[in-house]
Amino acid sequence: MPIAHQYLHIIEYKDLNTYNAINKIFEIINKQLKEPTEEQREIIEYLLIQFEKEHESDLNAKGKRLIKTEYKKRLL
């Protein structure tokens, strides 16, 4: 899960509210001790898509896209 972890750090840096919302859902999922529900998966996907739309043209310090293609290849 290193790619997902790396992506979460980028989200945390760029949009703390989205990061906190995703972490809250992860906290709930961890406490329920079972696979995420379809609704939880949809909420996470929605938050990620909104983040990607807002920051799609952002560049890192080296001038490369901040949101890498592999970040969008997720299995929900």
pLDDT over threshold 60, residue 30 = yes
Give the model's confidence band at 53: pLDDT under 50 very low, under 70 low, under 90 confident, else very high.
very high
- Which pLDDT belongs to residue 76? 56
CA distances from 43 to 20, 25, 28, 49, 60 (A): 13, 8, 13, 10, 27
For residue 42, give both structure tokens: 């949809």
pTM of structure: 0.88
Dihedral sign, CA of 37, 41, 46, 48? positive
Q: Please state, for a pLDDT cut of 90, what percent of the chain lies above it.
A: 86
Mean pLDDT of the region 12-23: 97
Structure tokens at 74: 């997720």
Structural domain boundaries of the chain?
Answer: 2-72
